[in-house]
Amino acid sequence: GIKHVRDVLHYDTPGPIPAVLTRNRELNKKDLLFLAEYTDYLKQHLSPEWKVSSLANYKARMWDESWGEKIEMWSSYVNPLLLTADGFSMDAWKEFVCENPAVCGKYVSKDFKQLTIFLGPPKEMNQFEAIRELRRVMQRNYPPENGTWFQNARYYALDYLDTDFVPYHEEGWPEI
């Protein structure tokens, strides 16, 4: 069990941190586009060693028959090019997502009101450092650039003492 995995296989990386995007209604196309944008934002602003996984970068196997023969394609479940295409249907997308039990219920709730982004901190980073960096990125609270020593000291002291985890939020965004 757990002792074998930890002691014999030396696997001690903590599980990913879920960032759940919640709506009080069923998801729509705009919510999926937001997921793609927010996933990209997290990938750009977290350290490069972080693992960011959501429907925006989880690949699905598809078949394209538009050229007269069946061609295998790999595309993410939330592809902005496909979402903005004329023939996109939310109902067809929901059916496609529900075909994969590894996705439905994990990356998107079965009632299609929540989306989840899984954030895996780097292996060498302890939990406090990981939570501090994730909080900093999600709150959009970055260190001052070219600040004085006082501004830098103040920023890091307040960042260290901050225990309130309230992500940055704009009007119309889902609750995070």
Residue 112's region, left for phi above 0, alpha for psi from -120 to 50, else beta, is left
**Other C-beta atoms lying within 10 Å of the C-beta of residue 146:** 6
More confident residue, 103 or 4: 103
Per-residue pLDDT, 1 = 46
Per-residue pLDDT, 30 = 92
> What does the pLDDT average to over 22-26?
90
> What does the pLDDT average to over 99-119?
91
* 3-class SS string, the chain: CHHHHHHHCCCCCCCCEEEEEECCCCCCHHHHHHHHHHHHHHHHHCCCCCEEECCCCCEEEEEECCCCCCEEEEEECCCHHHHCCCCCCHHHHHHHHHCCCCCECCCECCCCCEEEEEEECCCCCCHHHHHHHHHHHHHCCCCCCCCCHHHHHHHHHHHHHCCCCCCCCCCCCCEC
Per-residue pLDDT, 82 = 83
Average pLDDT, the chain: 82
User: How far apart (Å, rounded) are the C-alpha atoms in residues 83 and 55?
Assistant: 13
> What does the pLDDT average to over 48-74?
81
> What does the pLDDT average to over 66-81?
78
Is the model's pLDDT at 99 over the cut of 80?
yes
For 130, what's the count of Cα atoms within 13 Å in the CB-facing half-sphere? 18
More confident residue, 33 or 160: 33
Q: Which of 36, 52, 25 is nearest to 175 (CA)?
A: 25
Condensed to tens digits (0 to 9), the pLDDT of residues 35-48 reads 999 999 999 999 99
